[in-house]
Amino acid sequence: MQSPWKILTVAPLFLLLSLQSSASPAYNDLSRPSYSNGHTCVGCVLVVSVIEQLAQVHNSTVQASMERLCSYLPEKLFLKTTCYLVIDKFGSDIIKLLSADMNADVVCHTLEFCKQNTGQPLCHLYPLPKETWKFTLEKARRIVKKSPILRYSRSGSDICSLPILAKICQKIKSAIEQSVPFKDVDSDKYSVFPTLRGYHWRGRDCNDSDESVYPGRRPDNWDVHQDSNCNGIWGIDPKDGIPYEKKFCEGSQPRGIILLGDSAGAHFHISPEWITASQMSLNSFINLPTALTDELDWPQLSGVTGFLDSTVGIEEKSIYLRLWKRNHCNHRDYQNISRNGASSRNLKKFIESLSRNKMLDYPAIVIYAMIGNDVCNGKSDPVPAMTTPEKLYSNVMQTLKHLNSHLPDGSHVILYGLPDGTFLWDNLHNRYHPLGQLNKDVTYAHLYSFLNCLQVSPCHGWMSSNKTLRTLTSERAEQLSNTLKKIAASEKFTNFDLFYMDFAFHEIIQEWQKRGGQPWQLIEPVDGFHPNERKSVLLKGMLMTSQTLDNQEWTQLTLWVKGNLTCDSRTREWLCCCLRIVSGRRCSSSGPKSWERRIHSTPRLNRCLETKAGTEPLRSMHPWGAQGGRGVGKLIPQTLWGLLRHRPKGVSFSSIFAKCLSLNEEHIWMTVQCCVLLGSVTLPLFLK
């Protein structure tokens, strides 16, 4: 594997040369010459396949199919112009070879965009010709014996040496190498431009001429005169003279969301329409210029920092949108610090692009989600190149120390574990890849073998027919996850709390199947590697925002209850008992043993909450409950358990929890009951 730069530099020539970049480490060793040849080979085979299939779908000549492909491309980034240049330079020989019934593998080997090095196996995507490979290749070479293409390809020149491509290559290279916005006048790491690491990746700047104005900062003098934090709230209410920022945001605990991730977090995506001849139209490539200038990533649609509506009909919102919906003071406070090919090893090279001032900015929720590249690489023997648990520990601790020196006090950091990637082969190997659907000739097993042979696979360990290798890769992933779990359990930092979350993809598959989906639909169809961001990471994000983040408030409420609730009266003693049981401890020695037995299991806990541990008769379970009981219970107008159990359609747990947080000390019974319910083992049963 190698940098996406190698892919995008030839994108203007091989217009769809993006498959092999699908999460290849951005900073891996580039010394091996097979890397450049491998990526060029994949790009050639992709484009020649599309040309051939367009001719088949439209029953046209190869010349007509090439012109059709160019007509679909937009003018931006000179894509259409470049396509016609390719036709003029290479088209005649491609026409001759395809007209002689040579497949894409033979065409690209003949034109030397694919090469079989001495001692290396023959790499091919399609089934081998009926005649011997040597005979077929010699026959094809005779057809294009005097081709200028061969003189160009043998020269070893980089495609970007062509004058018309030099400017395009430079722009794309700059976007990939710089993790800060390309257009940032005041150098505050925020931009008014969407792509090239602009506001698709982090909140949009509202004043690009003032470096003190940016999303996520604490308001300057309550933003009386200007919107210093770009959340759209500023000025003074003329009715009472109170600044709007103070009125709406004071005490609301605004916080931003920051993702440190790889290509999955950046939402790497290649549209199937780009390589599926039967689906191509004038509308297929409208978003291609945007995708290229965003490094073939779609952070604006990602499961963590996405702010645009899904284009595939998925209703779930990103974590940022959930935080924004909960508190509009969080507007624009998101940062997607993700890179294609990122891992614990190379994060230090671009973590400096993170923007957070521990003195001036609001706290943040940081998600560390390097979920693949510490075990994934494209080498012929991938195991020695995997990150060891000891090295991961060192890398992550270095990252956490950096975060501790930049994050404001009160922040939270969540370490994401690695998935078990065996589901890739298990669910995809015998399915047809988009390139093989027309003629039923290319499965994902063929694609994986082709990429592994060229040593450009995004993850040889999991994208392999070798079951032993897949198992070894999963075992290393589990070891690394356990290392992250150990760090979260043992390390403490002054400015943030540290948590760990499993990437339980098998649970996500089960949840998706309950919704009527199939497991293979959770994988990006073109690269056959990435989890579909809006179908998998978001499902996991739903659990995370409902459980992990709410656990922060659960902890705060528990501490508040401990400080404000005395357990010396029988009226409240049952509450303390419930709270202790849910927290994993025994009731106090003075508490009735029958209470402990009664609420030790989930059904008994429910009864405890419904009947005050038996001190009252079972109350009505009408959807909106009945009146409260004696003492403090009289303050409760309805039974919270009834509200949770029979809540009306459209009423979410988060809205009920927000109600709990708004209660004051007079409603202590309801507050504690809410704490016990939402912090108990029954919570996951309702997160549907």
Q: Per-residue pLDDT tens for 223-248?
A: 999 999 999 999 999 999 999 999 99
Where among 152, 173, 208 does a domain terminate? Answer: 152
Of the candidates 553, 587, 606, which is a domain's last residue? Answer: 553
Residue 37 falls inside a structural domain? yes
In this model, does residue 198 exceed pLDDT 90? yes
pLDDT over threshold 70, residue 254: yes
Write down the pLDDT at residue 310.
66
- DSSP-derived letter for residue 537 is I
* Maximal CA-CA distance, the chain: 99
Q: Which stretch of 208-222, 349-363, 617-631 has the lowest confidence by average pLDDT?
A: 617-631
Name which residue leads in pLDDT, 676 or 102: 102
Question: Among 21-30, 115-124, 483-492, 610-619, which range has the highest average pLDDT?
Answer: 483-492
pLDDT band at 503 (very low <50, low <70, confident <90, very high): confident
Query: What's the token pair of residue 510?
Result: 């089960």
What pLDDT was estimated at residue 162?
62
Give a yes or no: residue 568 inside a domain.
no
pLDDT at 232: 96
147 in the same domain as 270: no
The pLDDT tens digits of the residues spanning 400-424 come to 999 999 999 999 999 999 999 999 9
Position 510 scores a pLDDT of 79
pLDDT at 309: 75
Note whether 44 and 114 are within 8 A (CB): yes
Confidence band (pLDDT; 50, 70, 90) for 535? low
pLDDT band for 554, please (50, 70, 90 cuts). Answer: very low
Q: Could you tell me which of 631, 635, 601, 604 has the C-alpha nearest to residue 616?
A: 631
Q: What is the mean pLDDT of residues 646-671?
A: 46
Does 31 score more than 70 pLDDT? no
147 lies in the same domain as 260? no
279 and 142 within one domain = no
- Give residue 120's pLDDT band: very low, low, confident or very high (50, 70, 90): confident
Average pLDDT over residues 341-352: 94
- Evaluate whether 455 touches 444 at the Cβ level (below 8 Å): no
At 475, which helix (H) or strand (E)?
Answer: helix 467-490
CB 232 within 8 A of CB 260: no
* 424 phi/psi in degrees, rounded to 5: -60, -60
**Which residues carry out catalysis?**
263
Contact residues for 426 (Cβ-Cβ < 8 A; gap 6+): none
Average pLDDT over residues 669-683: 43
Domain coverage including residue 510: 254-427+467-553
Alpha carbon dihedral 643, 649, 654, 656, in 10-degree steps, equals -20
The confidence band for 148, taking pLDDT boundaries of 50, 70 and 90, is low
Residue with tokens 């039974």: 639
Mean pLDDT calculated for residue range 64-87: 93
Strand, coil or helix: 633: helix
For residues 491 and 377, state if they share a domain: yes
Give a yes or no: residue 646 inside a domain. no
Instruction: Report the alpha-carbon distance of residue 515 to residue 494 in Å, rounded.
Output: 42
Q: Are residues 292 and 408 in the same domain?
A: yes
Residue 141, both tokens: 């070479």
What is the chain's mean pLDDT, rounded? Answer: 78
Asked if residue 615 belongs to a domain, the reply is no
pLDDT at position 505, please?
77
- 577: confidence class by pLDDT, cuts 50, 70, 90: low
Task: Please choose, from the candidates 370, 369, 367, the residue with its C-alpha nearest in 3D space to the C-alpha of residue 345.
Answer: 370
Domain assignment present for residue 635? The answer is no
- The predicted model gives 289-318 an average pLDDT of 83
Q: What is the CATH number of the domain that holds 291?
A: 3.40.50.1110
Q: Given this model, what pLDDT does residue 175 score?
A: 57
pLDDT of 595-630, one tens digit each? 444 444 445 445 444 444 444 443 333 322 333 333
Structure tokens belonging to residue 454: 């060229």
- For the chain, percent of residues with pLDDT exceeding 70: 67
Average pLDDT over residues 21-35: 40
Question: Would you state the pLDDT for residue 533?
Answer: 55
Local confidence band at 317 (pLDDT 50, 70, 90 cut-offs): confident
> Does the residue 1 lie in any domain?
no
pLDDT at 562: 44
Q: Is 648 exposed, middle or buried (0-12, 13-18, 19+ CB in 10 A)?
A: exposed
Domain annotation covers residue 403: yes
Residues 344 and 371 sit within 8 Å (Cβ to Cβ): no
Residue 228 lies in a domain: no
* pLDDT at 353 exceeding the cut of 70: yes
Q: How confident is the model at residue 37 (pLDDT cuts 50, 70, 90)?
A: confident
Does residue 549 share a domain with residue 403?
A: yes
Is 657 or 283 the better-scoring residue by pLDDT?
A: 283
Instruction: Say yes or no: 260 and 394 in one domain.
Output: yes
pLDDT for 20 equals 34
The most confident of 3-12, 629-638, 653-662, 673-682, by mean pLDDT = 653-662
Look at the chain and report how many structural domains it folds into: 2
* Average pLDDT estimate for 653-669: 45
Q: How far apart are CA 150 and CA 650, in angstroms?
A: 65
Entry field: residues in the chain: 688
Give the residues across from 168 on adjacent strands: none
Last residue within a domain, chosen from 117, 152, 187 = 152
- Checking if the pLDDT of 91 tops 90, the result is yes
Which token pair is 387?
Answer: 């990150």
